[in-house]
């Protein structure tokens, strides 16, 4: 059985990965060892009734004993530890949730429902580094799997609505703390049905702009607000999150860097763990009917769910609230734009901790353990 070392298993992505592995009985297929950067010697998670102790995540000799290391610890850890391991001749697999190695020539970005052929070829070629993709990109590709597989896309413009969880656990907590702070400061006015709505609104604005609002992680309010900026700036005016749209999409597909054009605006909104995206898609043909397009999208993989373009279905099935905690990738509001028969618009929602982070890594580990 494959000896697998887990680093970062108690973080947000790591916890979701652990949950999914337990649900799917994946631990019966591997010998799991757990590492920690902060609590070596502490209790490791109990696996199939067996308890063990945590190993030091900087103990290179202990890491060298693993056939595969799965890290959801973050970029800094990868940058520090992988070069040390390689210097000592580590020849095992490295599965990584962080972005550090995604665009490296030595790595493949894993999203097997889309790129199993790329993964299989890489394994044959001796590739050892496999990275989870950017959450927004992976979710978009799962939704548009059918259009990609049939080579129907000329370009995509994406407008994202990204959840707090994409920024980390502390940001999720801050969104709730901000919401609570806001409510507590207007609760009295809200109980008075005769209170002037403009007075309430003025009070809300005062609170949202006050320095007492907790903003340590987002640097501004996310409650009652949207933040049209995700990740760091690039010299061309894009944010790095926006840059990942094209670069990771093409790498996942095994295409040259600019083969499919993807660009747009990435925006943080106040949902908890689902990313939504409004996509404008330029198709490379005009003669496909909407029902043919829906059929292609719906039949591409078992997780994508086409939602009828009605208000009732949209409110019920095409929202972060409806999708959170599920592997479903909802896609709806599908219609041709008035610009021409080759312009399509869709809205899609996916859980960014599942298909956006943990699930592609879990499935890659299964491919390795097979
Ligand atoms: P995280 O929740 O901050 O966890 C990372 C590590 O922080 C943990 O493994 C743990 O390491 C340590 N830690 C310190 N205090 C903790 C606490 N109170 N609770 C839990 N862990 C704590 O990071 P993450 O959001 O899972 O992200 C991990 C990597 O995945 C990053 O590179 C990120 O960019 C990437 N990623 C994230 C997402 C996402 O949606 N968040 C999506 C795709 C990829 P020790 O146990 O060793 O102390």
Taking only the tens place, the pLDDT of each residue in 60-111 is: 999 999 999 999 999 999 999 999 999 999 999 999 999 999 999 999 999 9
Which residue in 217, 215, 68 sits closest to 129, CA to CA? 68
| Residue from 7, 13, 98, 360 whose mutation best tests the ligand 1 pocket (most atoms within 8 A of CB) | 13
Which one-letter DSSP state was computed for residue 249? H
Helices (H), the chain: 12-23, 60-64, 75-87, 112-124, 135-143, 145-149, 169-191, 197-209, 240-253, 290-298, 311-317, 320-323, 359-369
| Residue 35 Cα: closest atom of ligand 1 | 47
The pLDDT score that the predictor gives to residue 258 is 87
78 lines ligand 1 (CB under 6 A): no
pLDDT, tens digit (0-9, with 9 covering 90-100), for 104-155: 999 999 999 999 999 999 999 999 999 999 999 999 999 999 999 999 999 9
Place of tokens 């591997």: 30
Which residue in 142, 164, 149, 166 sits closest to 346, CA to CA? 142
Angle in degrees, CA 162, 166, 170, rounded to 5: 125
Interatomic CA distance for residues 258 and 48, integer angstroms: 46
- Cα dihedral 283, 284, 287, 292, rounded to 10, equals -50
| Residue 169 Cα: closest atom of ligand 1 | 2
Q: How far is the CA of 251 from the centre of ligand 1 (A)?
A: 25
Catalytic residues: 135, 275
pLDDT-flagged residues of the chain (< 70): none
Inter-residue contact 303 to 288 (CB < 8 Å):
no
Looking at the DSSP bridge assignments, the partners of residue 250 are: none
Query: Residue 126: left (phi > 0), alpha (psi -120 to 50), or beta?
Result: left
Using CA positions, which residue lies closest to atom 46 of ligand 1?
Answer: 36
State pTM to two decimals.
0.96
Q: How far is the CA of 117 from the centre of ligand 1 (A)?
A: 30
**From the CB of residue 197, how many other CB atoms can be counted at a distance below 10 Å?**
8
């Amino acid at each position: 059985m494959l000896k697998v070392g887990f680093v970062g298993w108690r973080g947000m992505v790591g916890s979701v990965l652990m949950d999914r592995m337990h649900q799917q009985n994946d631990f019966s297929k591997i010998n799991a060892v757990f590492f920690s950067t902060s609590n070596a010697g502490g209790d490791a998670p109990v696996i199939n009734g067996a308890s063990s102790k945590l190993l030091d995540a900087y103990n290179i000799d202990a890491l060298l004993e693993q056939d595969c290391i799965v890290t959801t610890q973050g970029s800094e850890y990868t940058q520090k530890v992988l070069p040390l391991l390689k210097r000592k001749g580590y020849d095992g697999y490295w599965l990584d949730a962080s972005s550090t190695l995604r665009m490296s020539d030595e790595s493949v970005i894993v999203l097997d429902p889309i790129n199993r052929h790329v993964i299989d070829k890489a394994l044959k070629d001796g590739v050892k580094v496999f990275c989870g993709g950017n959450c927004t990109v992976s979710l978009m590709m799962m939704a548009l799997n059918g259009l990609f597989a049939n080579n129907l896309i000329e370009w995509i413009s994406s407008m994202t609505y990204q959840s707090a969880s994409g920024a980390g656990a502390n940001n999720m907590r801050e969104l709730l703390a901000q919401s609570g702070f806001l409510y507590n400061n207007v609760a009295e006015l809200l109980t008075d049905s005769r209170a002037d709505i403009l007075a309430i609104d003025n009070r809300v604005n005062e609170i949202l702009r006050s320095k007492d609002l907790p903003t340590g992680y987002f640097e501004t309010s996310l409650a009652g607000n949207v933040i049209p900026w995700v990740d760091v700036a690039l010299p061309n005016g894009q944010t790095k999150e926006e840059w990942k749209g094209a670069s990771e999409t093409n790498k996942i597909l095994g295409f040259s860097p600019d083969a499919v054009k993807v660009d747009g605006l990435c925006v943080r909104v106040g949902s908890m763990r689902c990313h939504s995206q409004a996509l404008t898609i330029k198709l490379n043909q005009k003669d496909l009917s909407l029902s043919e397009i829906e059929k292609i999208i719906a039949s591409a993989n078992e997780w994508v769910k086409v939602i009828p373009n009605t208000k009732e279905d949209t409110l019920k099935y095409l929202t972060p609230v409806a999708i959170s905690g599920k592997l479903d990738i909802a896609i709806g509001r599908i219609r041709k734009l008035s610009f021409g028969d080759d312009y399509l618009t869709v809205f899609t929602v996916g859980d960014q901790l599942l298909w956006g982070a943990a699930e592609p890594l879990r499935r890659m580990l299964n491919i390795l353990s097979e």
